[in-house]
Structures are given as structure tokens and as C-alpha cells.
């Protein structure tokens, strides 16, 4: 029984790495513009399907599909920003409606191009087992977990130490004051969308390489990313990572000890528990950086 629980914790941690990349992209846009991009999950899914197309049609390793997926998803993210930026009244509510509509359009476009079948990577190395003592995983899960940690650490350092990162934090804190300091808010907001698209690309390829994808996943990924963002507390990148790991572990333990039908319920219960005990999230305002 103990080995089963340890395996569930390990598997949940690996899944949480991919969740963290999805959530960090959503959190960056929310922190900068105070809007929730409800098409974010669909952009993640789009990157996953581009990796699938590159593997099946061009015989490319999914990792080599990242540049192509990056270009497509970043263009999509930029278009979402340009549309949202045109909203002048009730920006928060209208941006929700707009991005939700864009998400539906992307889902239907994926259905038209790739149909509703469940897809997964056929790369033999990705599917091979990696044994670490009593713990088992696929090579792809361990690889992309390490990549996720590296990307999250790089974004955290970039936000804290680079001029552009500090500009993004300034716009997130006070848009008008940032203008007085010579920061162009529109360029900074666009940069946050592009960075969000880059993280979504890596998350999409990770999800495709280590699991299965199907067109209805986009909405679920957006909900998970929103839950993790709230769990973390506004502006906390370590909180995003911790929240993603907790969500992944909670889901994995639920599937292992109870039933896969309760997987989504476990995430919602964790979400409500943290909100009840810590309304500002795991890190809250005091632990924010970026």
C-alpha cells in the first residue's frame, strides 16, 4: 500500500509540472492586464495537435515540432491580445466573453482538422519506462518535468532581474505610474501574451508526449490553470508551482485510492479548502515576486 501511495505522489508531481506551465501562462496575463484568457487552454491544445501533426506527417520528434508550434501559438496569442486591447468598456467582463468565444472557435477548428479521436505520441523512447528505485514513469514525463522546472525558474529570474521583467511587474502593479517611468504598457502587455503563448507551447508538447489529447481538453486545462492561479495567490510564481504540484498530487491520489470519476472533484475540493483557509492563496500578497 505504501509503495502504491509513493507511486501516486510521484506521478502526481510529474503531472503537476505540466500543469504549472499551463497555469503560469494564464497567471502572467492575469497579473499584467487583470483579465482571464479563457482561450488559453485551447492554445495549449493547439500546440499539442501541431506536435501530433509534425510527428505523424513529417516524422519529426515532438520536441522538434516546438519551433513550429511556438510560431503558430504566439501568433494566436498576439491576435487574442489585439482583440482584447480594442475593448474599452467593461474590459474584464467583455474580455471573458471574447476569449471564451475564441476558445470555442479554436476547439471547433481542431475538430475540423484532426477530428474527435484520441491521439497520443508513438515515439518509442518517450513511452519507455524510467525506473527510480520503487518509482516508475515514462521518459517523457521525467524529461518534461525537468524542462518545466527550468522554464519556471527562468521566468522567475527574468521577472525579477531583467528590465523587461520589471516593466511587466510595474504595469501589473500600476499601469499609469508605469507610463510615467517610460514604460510602454501596450508593448509590455503584448510581451506577456507572447510569453504566455511560449509557455503554452511547451505545456502542449509535454501533454501530448506523455499522455493523450482530444479536442475537449482545452476547457478543462483552462479551468485547472485558473484554479492553480487562485491557489498560488496573485503574482506568486513559486505559488503557481506549488499549487500545480498539489493539484496533480490530489488528482493522482484520488485516482489511485478511490476512482478516476472523482478526479476533477478532488481538484475543486482542494480549491475550496485553500480559499476557505487562505483567501489570498498559498503565498498571497506578501510572498509575491513578479
In tens, the pLDDT along 172-186 reads: 888 888 888 888 888
What fold is seen in the domain 2-277? ABC transporter involved in vitamin B12 uptake, BtuC (1.10.3470)
Read off the pLDDT of residues 229-255 as tens digits, 9 standing for 90 and up: 888 876 678 889 999 999 999 999 999
Answer yes or no: are the C-beta atoms of 35 and 84 closer than 8 Å. Answer: yes
| pLDDT mean over 265-284 | 79
Report the C-alpha gap between 103 and 38 in whole angstroms. 7
**Average pLDDT of the residues in 23-52:** 92
Q: Which residues contact 108 (CB under 8 A, 6 or more apart)?
A: none
The DSSP secondary structure of 164-200, one letter per residue, reads HHHHHHHHHH-HHHHHHTT--HHHHHHHHHHHHHHHH
The answer for residues whose C-beta is within 8 angstroms of residue 171's C-beta and 6 or more apart is 32, 178, 183, 185, 188, 189
Distance CA 123, CA 210 (A): 10
pLDDT at 288 over 70: no
Q: What's the confidence (pLDDT) of residue 2?
A: 84
Going by C-alpha positions, the residue among 106, 108, 80, 76 that lies closest to residue 95 is: 80
SS3 129: strand
Over range 250-269, report the average pLDDT: 88
- Helix, coil or strand: residue 116: coil
* Backbone phi, psi, residue 258, to 5°: -125, -95
The ranges assigned to domains in the chain are 2-277
pTM: 0.92
Q: Which residues pair with 178 in a beta bridge?
A: none
Asked if the model's pLDDT at residue 277 lies above 90, the reply is no
pLDDT, mean of residues 63-79: 95
Determine contact, residues 178/170, Cβ cutoff 8 Å: yes
pLDDT tens digits, 142-201: 999 999 999 999 999 998 888 888 888 888 888 888 888 888 888 999 999 999 999 999
Amino acid at each position: 500500500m505504501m509503495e502504491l501511495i509513493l507511486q501516486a505522489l510521484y506521478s502526481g508531481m510529474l503531472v503537476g509540472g505540466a500543469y504549472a506551465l499551463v497555469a503560469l501562462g494564464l497567471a502572467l496575463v492575469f497579473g499584467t492586464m487583470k483579465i482571464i484568457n479563457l482561450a488559453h487552454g485551447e492554445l495549449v491544445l493547439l500546440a499539442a495537435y501541431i506536435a501530433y501533426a509534425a510527428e505523424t506527417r513529417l516524422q519529426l520528434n515532438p520536441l522538434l515540432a516546438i519551433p513550429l508550434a511556438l510560431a503558430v501559438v504566439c501568433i494566436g496569442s498576439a491576435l487574442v491580445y489585439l482583440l482584447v486591447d480594442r475593448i474599452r468598456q467593461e474590459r474584464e467582463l467583455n474580455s471573458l466573453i471574447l476569449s471564451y468565444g475564441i476558445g470555442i472557435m479554436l476547439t471547433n477548428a481542431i475538430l475540423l482538422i484532426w477530428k474527435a479521436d484520441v491521439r497520443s505520441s508513438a515515439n518509442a523512447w518517450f513511452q519507455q519506462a524510467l525506473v527510480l528505485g520503487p518509482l516508475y514513469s515514462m521518459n517523457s514525463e521525467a524529461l518534461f518535468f525537468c524542462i518545466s522546472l527550468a522554464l519556471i525558474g527562468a521566468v522567475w529570474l527574468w521577472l525579477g532581474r531583467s528590465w523587461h521583467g520589471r516593466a511587466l511587474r510595474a504595469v501589473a502593479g500600476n499601469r499609469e505610474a508605469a507610463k510615467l517611468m517610460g514604460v510602454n504598457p501596450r508593448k509590455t502587455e503584448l510581451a506577456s501574451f507572447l510569453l504566455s503563448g511560449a509557455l503554452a507551447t511547451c505545456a502542449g508538447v509535454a501533454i501530448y508526449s506523455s499522455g493523450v489529447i482530444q479536442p475537449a481538453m482545452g476547457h478543462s486545462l483552462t479551468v485547472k490553470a485558473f484554479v492553480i492561479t487562485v491557489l498560488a495567490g496573485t503574482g506568486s510564481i513559486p505559488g503557481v508551482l506549488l499549487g500545480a504540484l498539489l493539484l496533480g498530487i490530489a488528482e493522482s491520489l484520488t485516482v489511485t485510492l478511490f476512482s478516476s470519476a472523482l478526479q476533477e472533484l478532488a481538484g475543486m475540493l482542494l480549491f475550496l479548502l485553500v480559499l476557505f483557509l487562505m483567501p489570498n492563496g498559498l503565498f498571497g500578497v506578501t510572498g509575491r515576486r513578479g
